[in-house]
Homo-oligomer: A and B are copies of this chain.
Amino acid sequence: MTDNIIVSREIHLKQRPKGFPTEENFEIVQVDIPEPKEGEFLVRNIWMSLDPHMRIYMAKGTGIMPAYQLNKPPSGGCVGQVIESRNDKFKAGEYVLGNSGWREYWVSKGNGDSNGQDIVKVDPKMAPIQYFLGILGITGFTAYVGLLKIGQLREDVDTVFVSTAAGGVGSIACQIAKIKGCYVVGSTGSKDKVEWLLNQAKVDYAFNYKKLGAGSEDNNNNSISSELKDAFPNGIDLYFDNVGGRHLEAAIVNMNTFGRIVLCGATSQYSSISVADDNDKFPQYQGPSNLHLAISNRLRLQGFLYSDHYDILDEFQTSMSKWIKEDRIKWKETLYEGLENAPKAFIGLFKGENFGRTLVKIGSDNAS
């Protein structure tokens, strides 16, 4: 496609955030992209997505979790188009979903991109390509894998609790569980989101955990537990945990025997890791003090990452695109235009400015 050197703009992590991220933590730089070697191909990014969990990797790292390198672009979901290829499996013009966001161009090795992550093709005929960064992508796939494969959801039987229920993953988990005929309760952090859950996602019940009883936001596990006790008179069969900490503790005490807790993680986990190396404003992570109930109640808690489960990606995309066509799934997106606005989009996640999936449009959707 091109014999010229390609100059790509990238957002680099300039400083590790102290507490909430700011624009000063990032800078935009220009880099030369090397020609793809044998087996490699060049991708032009069109969309990138932003997740709160990226904040974890911006911290220094604990020896357990990898950290983003300074003066390099962070990794993160992106959809782009192959514009030059020396790999038989990925042809110029095809669209791919990768983990090399925060930049305009990048070179992939095929099954292992520069971040060692898998890369998959996406079909633009199935849906607009940015859907593969959300409802049809990692977000939807995480909800699907967590609920059906890890959680082993029993259709028409299970009672399901979802925390961060109005979030990207949570909102889809709620709706898949409803489609599967389950009783679904969601926890979220604002009145608007409670209303969205009840009226759009059509969950059976939703509550604002910040407004429960007399407990403050930092000390309300008893009120979450009471709320769950009322919402689940027959107990919880499956808890889709996006939070950990107090929500997890409150769920454990309300689980039925042989209940399953899907550890998808989110807010609570960011804190303890970030706390390790800066004056973070997040609260300390709290381990569930009632985990011993997992023995008498025969609970299973299981952590997972979507990237181990590509064997059911086709099944997921077929089901999800059908549900979208049938208008059985609602979701929200907050869109930002231009790579240079990626830091602003990311910061927006922590200001509560963004509702639903946060996306940045990096380039136009035309073959170059």
Interface of A with B (CB < 8 Å)?
A: 64-65, 244, 248-249, 253, 263-265, 268-269, 272-273, 284-305, 308
Q: Please tell me if the beta carbons of B303 and A296 are within 8 angstroms of each other in the complex.
A: yes
Q: Are A292 and B265 neighbours in the complex by a CB distance under 8 Å?
A: yes
- Contact partners of A288 in chain B: CB under 8 A: 287-288, 291
A300 x B300 contact (CB < 8 A): yes
Verify A264–B64 contact, CB threshold 8 A: no
Q: Which residues of B contact A64 (CB under 8 A)?
A: 253, 293, 296
Alpha-carbon distance between A292 and B241 when the two chains are bound, in angstroms:
11
CA–CA, A182 to B253, complex, Å?
A: 35
Q: Are B308 and A303 closer than 8 Å at their CB atoms?
A: no
Residues in B whose Cβ lies below 8 Å from that of A265: 292, 295-296
Q: Once the chains bind, are B291 and A244 in contact (CB under 8 Å)?
A: yes
- How many copies are assembled? 2
Most buried by B among A65, A264, A268, A296: A296
Known: A64-B253, A268-B292, A288-B287. A308 touches B301 (CB 8 A): no
Cβ-closest chain B residue relative to A264: B295
- With contacts A296-B65, A298-B304, A303-B299 taken as known, whether A287 is within 8 angstroms of B249 at the C-beta atoms is yes
User: What are 24 A-B residue pairs whose CB atoms fall within 8 Å in the complex?
Assistant: A244-B292, A263-B291, A263-B292, A264-B295, A269-B295, A272-B289, A285-B289, A285-B291, A287-B290, A288-B288, A288-B291, A294-B301, A294-B303, A295-B304, A297-B303, A298-B302, A298-B303, A298-B304, A298-B305, A298-B308, A299-B303, A300-B300, A300-B302, A301-B301
Which of B253, B289, B298, B300 meets A287, CB within 8 Å? B289
Q: Give Cα distance in the complex from A308 to B299, angstroms.
A: 13
In the assembled complex, which residues on chain B have CB atoms less than 8 Å from the CB atom of A303?
A: 293-300
Cross-chain contact A292 with B308 (CB below 8 angstroms): no
- Known A285-B289, A286-B287, A289-B272; judge A305-B294 contact (CB<8 A): no
- Min C-beta distance of A300 to chain B, whole Å: 4
Q: Which residues of B contact A272 (CB under 8 A)?
A: 289-290, 292
Q: Residue of B at shortest CB range from A287?
A: B287
CB pair B304–A302 under 8 Å, yes or no, is: no
Q: Which residues of B contact A248 (CB under 8 A)?
A: 291
User: 5 closest pairs, A vs B, by CB?
Assistant: A287-B287, A269-B292, A294-B303, A295-B303, A265-B295
Residues of B within 8 A of A308 (CB): 298
How far is B292's CA from A273's CA once the two chains are assembled, in angstroms? 9
Shortest beta-carbon distance, A211 to chain B, in Å?
Answer: 25
* Residues on B with beta carbons closer than 8 Å to the beta carbon of A244: 291-292
Question: Shortest beta-carbon distance, A233 to chain B, in Å?
Answer: 15
Closest B residue to A289 by beta carbon equals: B287
Given A64-B253, A253-B64, check contact A296 B287 (CB 8 Å).
Answer: no
Residues of B within 8 A of A286 (CB): 287, 289
Q: Which residues of B contact A284 (CB under 8 A)?
A: 289
- Least Cβ distance of A254 to chain B in Å? 10
Query: Which residues of chain B have C-beta atoms less than 8 A from A304's C-beta?
Result: 295, 298
Distance, CA A4 to CA B65, complexed state (A):
71
A65 to B294, CA, bound (A): 12
C-alpha gap A290/B244 in the complex (Å): 10
Residues of chain B contacted by A305 (CB below 8 angstroms): 295-296, 298
Measured in the bound complex, the distance between the Cα atoms of B258 and A308 in whole Å is: 10
Contact B249 A295 (CB under 8 A): no
> Once the chains are docked, how many angstroms separate the CA of A296 from the CA of B272?
14
